[in-house]
Amino acid sequence: MNSGKYIFSQLLNFVNKYEFEKIVNRYNGNYRVRELNCWNQFIQLFFGQLTNLNSLRDIYLCLKAHNSKLYHLGIKNYVSHTTLS
């Protein structure tokens, strides 16, 4: 059983969340957001990039298949492919 952090969450530690949020606030990126804020969208697309998935539907299905591990990856919840797009 895994006793440490997953590699994906270790890679996310290299992304400075403070700087990311500062840029999002500068350009008003989370304006009128209900479900998927910029950070969660970035994490899900970053996951798709690292796992070499080809489409948003592939990202959605892969995240849905690993629903029990999302919290440990740093993803709060998966969203539908239409919301992700």
Question: Stretch 11-21: mean pLDDT, rounded?
Answer: 93
Tell me if residue 17 falls in helix, strand or coil: helix
How many domains are there within the chain? 1
Give the range of the structural domain holding residue 67, as residue numbers without chain letter.
Answer: 7-84
Look at residue 2 in the predicted model and tell me its pLDDT: 63
Residue 60 burial (C-beta neighbours within 10 Å; 0-12, 13-18, 19+): buried
Instruction: Please list the alpha-helical segments (H only) found in the chain.
Output: 7-12, 17-26, 38-50, 56-65, 70-73, 81-84
How confident is the model over 21-43, as pLDDT tens digits? 999 999 999 998 888 889 989 99
Indicate whether 20 belongs to any domain. Answer: yes
How confident is the model over 53-75, as pLDDT tens digits? 999 899 989 988 988 888 888 78
Look at residue 14 in the predicted model and tell me its pLDDT: 92
Look at residue 67 in the predicted model and tell me its pLDDT: 86
Indicate whether 1 belongs to any domain. Answer: no
- pTM listed for this prediction: 0.85
